[in-house]
Each structure stands twice: as structure tokens, then as C-alpha cells.
Amino acid sequence: MKMYKALTIAGSDSGGGAGIQADLKTFQELGVFGMTAITAITAQNTLGVQGVYPVPIEGISEQIDSIGADLTPDAVKTGMLFNSEIIKVVSEKIKQYSWTNLVVDPVMIAKGGAPLLQEEAIDALKHFLLPIATVITPNIPEAEVLSGQKIQSINDRKKAAEIIFNLGAKNVMIKGGHSEGEAMIDLLFDGNEFFQFESKRIVTKNTHGTGCTFSAAITAELAKGKNIREAIAIAKDFIQAAIEDDLMIGSGHGPTNHWAYRRKCAQRK
């Protein structure tokens, strides 16, 4: 059996709902072998982020080198990168190993408002990482920062997606979690056409790590050889199930349920 491999370069969430932990759970559920390079350790739970400890830069490049020397990933995702120095080394290493299928989740702020990316790092993100991204997956506030445009309507999102596309990402997926209305619309721009992925908005406070889980699912499907639209369609189905079937863990914004998609698939058979 061929085992596809995916690498996540991201921060650790001690609470287990976001970051590296969400990525590994998602890879596992989608049948892909998960590997990690940890950029920062966060002390975090469903109530918020209590501490952020970046890993020394040599420790980050060495983790990536260990993987590069032995275990070529079929797809790579980046999550929390924290500062420009980390962004530079991560993008250099990805280029050095000629890794393809790169999903960039431009994580900036945690649900409770804690900064997971320093402001000085925005230029580095645009300059070094976007040009090598197969797809970038900003939420609405992140797309506003990257495009310099205020986003209210779907048309505003389309304009922002075009601006971000022109920064070099091959595909731009602006997620709808921070919008309003009954429909939950995620918008993809591939440089030629816009595609909308729509589901029903679920009313819940348990949305910690939705962005990480969604981008990890896209990464897992790209690793298996799916094209970008197929990968996003499966990721949308995965995150919908994971939010719908919530776990009620913790007293704040609880995590999503990474097992739910497996159950949903079994029920469909």
C-alpha cells in the first residue's frame, strides 16, 4: 500500500484543538501519514492563549532538514509562523527541497485575540511565502490585512482574492467563518475563475481550530493527488462534520470533532 505523507510546519496547541495537534488528527483521519516541524509552543486551552514560546531558529531548520533527508512529503502546510525570521527559514527550506503542494494558512490571531504572528512579519509572509504557495487560506480579517481592502460583501472578497493572487499564490481561498448569514460560503480564486463552496452555518461556540483543521484536510487531499477543487470540497465536508458533531470539551471555544467525518462517511455507505 502506498502511504502518502504530509508535513505541517506550525505551532503546538497544548489544548489539542488547533495547530499541530489539529493537523495531525486531521491527517490521520484522512489516511495520510503526518509529520511535524514545530515553530512555537503555545500554552493554550479553550479559554485562550496563556503563553507563546518560539522554538529557536536552528531547531526549526533542523526539524525540516531531518524530514528533508529522509521523508519527502507529498504535501506541506504552514500554520503559525510567529515572526519574519521563522517565515524566511521555512520558505528557504521548502524551496531548497523543492517541495510542492504547499498550503499556507496565514495564521495571525487566535480566537480570543492573542497574536500568533508579529506585525513585522506580514511583509515577509507576502514576500517569501505567498509566491511559493499552491493555495493560501486566509479568513476574512487575514485577507483584509494581506489585500489592504475592507471586506463586507462577496464582491469585496473577490477583489481581495485577486489582489492576494497577484502577490503570487496560485490559488486563493478566502474562508467565510467571520462573515454573517445562514450560508457559510468559502470562496476560491484560481486566477481565472471564482468557485464558491457553500454549507449551512452551524450555530455553536465550539469553533476552536476550524481554520487549522480545514487547511490540514486540504493538505491531506493534495498529498493523495486530488486537485485543488476536489481537495477543498472534501475539506469542506470534513470541517462541516467536525463542527456539527461537536464535543463540548472545555468551558470556552471548544475544539471540533476530528472523528465525525469518519462516522459521516460510514453512514453514507
Ligand X SMILES: Cc1ncc(CO)c(N)n1
Q: What are the residues binding ligand X (CB under 6 A)?
A: 10-11, 13, 18-19, 42, 44, 79-80, 107, 110, 116, 209, 211-212
- Greatest CA span in the chain, whole angstroms? 50
Asked if 177 interacts with ligand ATP (CB under 6 A), we say: yes
Asked if 18 interacts with ligand ATP (CB under 6 A), we say: yes
Asked if 264 interacts with ligand ATP (CB under 6 A), we say: no
Asked if 201 interacts with ligand ATP (CB under 6 A), we say: yes
- Report the DSSP pairing between strands 183-189 and 172-174: antiparallel
Q: Is 34 considered catalytic here?
A: no
Radius of gyration for the chain, computed over Cα atoms and rounded to the nearest angstrom: 17
Query: Is the alpha carbon torsion for 27, 15, 77, 146 positive or negative?
Result: positive
CA atoms lying within 13 Å on the CB side of residue 217? 26
Q: Is 207 considered catalytic here?
A: yes
Q: Which residue stretch of 1-9, 30-38, 67-75, 195-203 sits at the interface with ligand ATP (rule: CB under 6 A)?
A: 195-203
The minimum distance between CB 148 and ligand X, in angstroms, equals 22
Please state, in angstroms and rounded to a whole number, the distance separating the CA atoms of residues 91 and 142: 19
Is the Cβ–Cβ distance between 258 and 29 less than 8 Å? yes
Please state, in angstroms and rounded to a whole number, the distance separating the CA atoms of residues 154 and 195: 12
Among 12, 134, 171, 207, binds ligand ATP (CB under 6 A): 207
Q: Is 265 considered catalytic here?
A: no
Q: Is 210 considered catalytic here?
A: yes
- Which residue carries 500554520 as its cell? 79
Site track for ligand ATP across 128-147, x = CB under 6 A: -----------x--------
Q: Is 209 considered catalytic here?
A: yes
Among 43, 132, 199, 249, binds ligand ATP (CB under 6 A): 199
The minimum distance between CB 19 and ligand X, in angstroms, equals 3
Query: Is the alpha carbon torsion for 124, 126, 128, 130 positive or negative?
Result: positive
The residues that bridge with 200 in the sheet, in sequence order, are 183
The minimum distance between CB 3 and ligand ATP, in angstroms, equals 27
- Catalytically annotated residues: 175, 207, 209-212
